[in-house]
Amino acid sequence: MSNTSIKHVIVGTAGHIDHGKSTLIEALTGTHPDRLEEEKRRGITIDLGFAFLEEEGVRYGFVDVPGHERFVKNMLAGASGIDLVLLVIAADELIKPQTREHFDICRLLGVQRGVIALTKSDLADGDTRGLARMEVEEFVKGTFLATAPIIEVSAKTQLGLAELKTALREAAQEIDAKDTGRYFRLPIDRSFAVKGFGSVVTGTLYSGHIALGDEVELLPPGKILRVRGLQTGGKSVQRAAAGQRTAVNVAGIEHTAIQRGMVLSSRGRLRAARRADVRLELLPGAPPLKQRAQVHFHAGTLETIAEVYLVGARELAPGGSALAQLRLRDDAVLVRGDRFIVRQFSPVVTIGGGMVLDPHARRFAAKDTGRAQFLGILEKGSQEEILQAMAERNILGITAGEIIVRTGWVEQEIQSAAKSLCDKKLIRIASSEPLILIAETVFAEIGKKLLARAERFHKENPLLPGITREELKASLGRRVRPETFATALHLLLEQKQITLQGEFIKKAGAQITLAPEELRAQEQITQAFSKAGLAVPSVKEVLAQLKIETARAEKLLQILLREKVLVRVSADLIFHRDALDALTGLLRQYKKAKGDRIGVPAFKELTGITRKYAIPLLEYLDRQRQTQRAGDERVIL
Ligand SMILES: Nc1nc2c(ncn2[C@@H]2O[C@H](COP(=O)(O)OP(=O)(O)O)[C@@H](O)[C@H]2O)c(=O)[nH]1
Ligand SMILES: [Mg+2]
């Protein structure tokens, strides 16, 4: 592509009303950013305005914001996507309330660089300009703008404009380009209809890229839309990438159904939620923030109300910071690392901001003592540490989908962190399609639970061979994934902590312990069948002679059958194993002496039993592949 070498930079204006922001943008780009009728009539900026400039390999998308205190919320919708701030301070007025507020907002949003324009310098004499410069230097001391160039300009006389462009270009070279490798995300700041085209949304493309024909998701509500047209910087394009002001013509929706604050995103990747865990910072000039205070919450282009739950504190002091959970009134599409601003509920002024740590946080629970530590890892940890911590707090295991929703990581990042943790034996892949990761500590925990359950089952049911898989699985609660259970079970088997007998799971070493009268009864059953040889008594008859009740007797019989001391040959005939072994011996002798064919009469004669036993026994031998039916006779195999 021809423009891959072009760097895309979003520049946002900031500063008090009437300090010359919009005029300066017009002087730089030739476009007056005020676009609304009312703005033109009143000569003030109410909502965001946009203009573009391409110079020496840099394409600037300017976002011009309103300076009026009543429209700070509109300013916030524009400020969240900017790479560079153009802080506008009129030489004849200097630092005013929205100079401070806008500057605080840029700082809290994590804007890294900027240029300061001392505007209207044609209205100030040399001394005044010198003093202004000193005051501005004092104002930005110790902040991200401490070393930013301060350029005296005048839109009226064109003074300083060339110098300002140079300063912007130098600052643009310093900033990191937005990440085009991540999921496509476009927080929407405008939605309107264009005659003959339908709905168009605009915004600053935060990350990833978008192309004509793509299917994208509108969040909330999670509606899939097709990209019918694309523009960046006022020109139609095939493709737009992170860092560009972008207009998207979407098919299949009325523009009125789309609002500022919604997000266009890669299909099926991100999800809206109403609970975010965050690092919250309070401005030094703000009043203390109380537990459960309500604040206005701004992130991306969204504005809603949040209730603040401080972690481990009742109050946040001015100038301080705390971990907190924000409960939002509306669905928000957030990603770990997103910056946000909070404003006092009333009167509405900016009081702080912070960074999203977990955009899909669990409900705040007092008994969750590991929370602060977990959030600490989300805040400062490496991807590997974060993945491990997430897995360790999740008995269900964590899927790739959940990891993406909570971190915004791409597949490749997840795979490499997971692999490294697997190599270190800290997590295990419970399933690879779909990917489910489980921490070893969680497996150890599940293993303990399963063993305890197996042991209890054994105590409660001493005559049963073990607990069934289904029953054991149920003991983990119904939300445990089958893959997790299967892997945990496999692990216990491997470690020989349990043994598997068909459907039954037994704790290793667990023995069936029989009471003395049961032992006696068991012996009696064995004796009865062993004495009878092949002319066995009926099961009912044998059990009836025992001194214990039928239900227990039945269980004893089951144990003997399972242990293969006795063998069930037909529905109502049971034989002792020795008798059947002897029969096998007899057949072998017969074959040697008389050949491999035997009829029913010969079989009866050989074994000395009646037809009642002979037929089921022969059928049993057929099933066992000791004999094979051939007409009226059997072939001894
Ligand atoms: N003399 C002079 N007036 C200016 C200059 N820049 C802007 N103005 C005037 O200041 C007023 C406010 O400008 P505007 O750009 O709307 O300010 P904004 O509210 O910061 O966007 C307008 O009347 C402009 O004509 C300048 O460099 N010199
Ligand atoms: Mg303006």
Q: Name the helix (H) or strand (E) containing 376.
A: helix 371-380
pLDDT of amino acid 356: 97
Single out the residue of 75, 157, 146 nearest to residue 116, CA to CA.
146
Whose Cα sits closest to atom 26 in ligand 1? 120
Span 85-107, average pLDDT: 96
- Residue 165's SS3 state is helix
Determine the distance separating the centroid of ligand 1 and the alpha carbon of 465, expressed in angstroms. Answer: 88
* Closest ligand to the CA of 153: 1
Contact between 93 and 16 under an 8 Å Cβ cutoff? The reply is yes
Per the model's pLDDT, the better-predicted residue between 511 and 583 turns out to be 583
pLDDT digits (tens, 9 = 90+) for 221-245: 999 999 999 999 888 999 999 999 9
pLDDT of amino acid 4: 54
Q: Which atom of ligand 1 is nearest to the CA of 19?
A: 20
Whose Cα sits closest to atom 28 in ligand 1? 120
Contact between 188 and 139 under an 8 Å Cβ cutoff? The reply is no
How far, in Å, CA of 199 to CA of 378, rounded? 38
pLDDT digits (tens, 9 = 90+) for 311-365: 988 999 999 999 999 999 999 999 999 999 999 999 999 999 999 999 999 888 7
Which residues are CB-contacts of 67 (< 8 A; sequence separation ≥ 6)?
A: 15, 16, 17, 18, 19, 21, 45, 75, 98, 102
Q: Name the helix (H) or strand (E) containing 453.
A: helix 440-460
Span 407-436, average pLDDT: 92
Span 101-120, average pLDDT: 96
How far, in Å, CA of 168 to CA of 87, rounded? 11
Task: Enter the tokens of residue 313.
Answer: 């504190």
Taking 70 as the threshold, does the pLDDT of residue 176 lie above it?
Answer: yes
Whose Cα sits closest to atom 3 in ligand 1? 120
Whose Cα sits closest to atom 8 in ligand 1? 20
298-312, 370-384, 552-566: which has the minimum mean pLDDT? 552-566
Q: Which atom of ligand 1 is nearest to the CA of 155?
A: 27
Taking 70 as the threshold, does the pLDDT of residue 182 lie above it?
Answer: yes
Single out the residue of 278, 300, 325, 327 nearest to residue 219, CA to CA.
300
pLDDT of amino acid 17: 96
Q: Which atom of ligand 1 is nearest to the CA of 123?
A: 1
Which residues are CB-contacts of 320 (< 8 A; sequence separation ≥ 6)?
A: 281, 282
Determine the distance separating the centroid of ligand 1 and the alpha carbon of 122, expressed in angstroms. Answer: 11
Span 479-505, average pLDDT: 83
Determine the distance separating the centroid of ligand 2 and the alpha carbon of 172, expressed in angstroms. Answer: 23
pLDDT digits (tens, 9 = 90+) for 397-406: 899 999 999 9
How far, in Å, CA of 65 to CA of 150, rounded? 20
Whose Cα sits closest to atom 2 in ligand 1? 120
Determine the distance separating the centroid of ligand 1 and the alpha carbon of 189, expressed in angstroms. Answer: 25
pLDDT digits (tens, 9 = 90+) for 548-566: 888 888 888 888 888 788 9
> How many other CB atoms are there within 10 angstroms of residue 273's CB atom?
18
pLDDT of amino acid 499: 85
DSSP 627: E
Determine the distance separating the centroid of ligand 1 and the alpha carbon of 138, expressed in angstroms. Answer: 24
pLDDT digits (tens, 9 = 90+) for 45-75: 889 999 999 998 899 999 999 999 989 999 9
Determine the distance separating the centroid of ligand 2 and the alpha carbon of 244, expressed in angstroms. Answer: 22
The Cα-based distances of 27 to 21, 39, 79 in angstroms read 10, 18, 21
Helix axes 383-392, 411-423, angle to 10 degrees: 70
Determine the distance separating the centroid of ligand 2 and the alpha carbon of 68, expressed in angstroms. Answer: 9
pLDDT digits (tens, 9 = 90+) for 441-472: 988 888 898 999 988 888 888 777 789 888 88
pLDDT of amino acid 396: 79
33-37, 130-134, 187-191: which has the minimum mean pLDDT? 33-37
pLDDT digits (tens, 9 = 90+) for 496-544: 888 887 778 888 777 777 788 888 998 999 999 999 999 999 888 898 8
- Scanning the structure block, which residue is given the tokens 């978008």? 210
How far, in Å, CA of 450 to CA of 507, rounded? 9
Q: Residue 1: pLDDT band by 50, 70, 90 thresholds?
A: very low
Q: Which atom of ligand 1 is nearest to the CA of 25?
A: 15
**Residues having CB within 6 Å of any atom of ligand 1:** 15, 17-23, 44-45, 67, 119-120, 122-123, 154-156
Contact between 516 and 547 under an 8 Å Cβ cutoff? The reply is no
Mean residue pLDDT across the chain: 92
pLDDT of amino acid 395: 80
